[in-house]
Chain A
Amino acid sequence: EVQLVESGGALVQPGGSLRLSCAASGFTFSDYWMSWVRQAPGKGLEWVASIKEDGSEKYYVDSVKGRFTISKDNAKNTLFLQVNSLRVEDTAVYYCAKAGLAVSRDYWGQGTLVTVSS
């Protein structure tokens, strides 16, 4: 059974940093693209970043480029998102998602909440 478990969310002040983690199990982690998708309170889904199976390619939504870094440790079956220079508008539940067929996201974690507030 595929499981994705996020952690690392917290209340942080503007300008602060966090490292989000997503522990994966139930599939061969090193064979799949992975992504982070966020959802601000009461709002829709927003793709944040994606990383290729071996970590050699990374892509970001424009609003986080230069501030967020996606990475994956295939030996530890863990996906990461380093979030720096946080802004109030980064407040959201952050989901990790496994790539499925045809660029879909077929499995999602339960999410971890990042709140940016002074």
Chain B
Amino acid sequence: QSALTQPPSASGSPGQSVTISCTGTSSDVGGYNYVSWYQQYPGKAPKLMIYEVSKRPSGVPDRFSGSKSGNTASLTVSGLRADDEADYYCSSYAGSGNLVFGGGTKLTVL
């Protein structure tokens, strides 16, 4: 039950694209297509942005996209906006009913 590995920080200018990685193992990220991404503002509850690696819930802009290759999943935010500045967490199913989260990435819009 080790946490998934995310970079502590990422940044980009308005209008640019930024990609956040999430590295696990063959027992979690690599073993299942059950990777989710969450956005969290300070003092607020997390919000689901991506599920099943690359699917967006209703209401999430298509500027947010997800992908996976091997044991690493990625979240790409295109056309950066000021209100994208938040913490982002990945999560994966890890078998036997267990979930695991990444350590989180603070996205700064310059």
Chain A interface residues toward B at CB < 8 A: 35, 37, 44-47, 50, 57-59, 61-62, 95, 100-106, 108-111
Is residue B82 contacting chain A, with contact meaning CB distance below 8 A? Answer: no
Give A109 to B55 CA distance when docked, in angstroms.
22
User: Are B52 and A101 within 8 A (Cβ)?
Assistant: yes
What class of interface size applies to chain B in its complex with A?
20 to 34
Interface string of B66-110 (1 = CB under 8 A from A): 000000000000000000000001010100111111111000000
User: Are A110 and B45 within 8 A (Cβ)?
Assistant: yes
Q: Which residues of B contact A105 (CB under 8 A)?
A: 36, 38, 46, 48, 91
User: Are A104 and B52 within 8 A (Cβ)?
Assistant: yes
Give A19 to B33 CA distance when docked, in angstroms.
34
Q: Which residues of A contact B45 (CB under 8 A)?
A: 95, 108-111
User: Are A45 and B93 within 8 A (Cβ)?
Assistant: no
User: Are A59 and B89 within 8 A (Cβ)?
Assistant: no
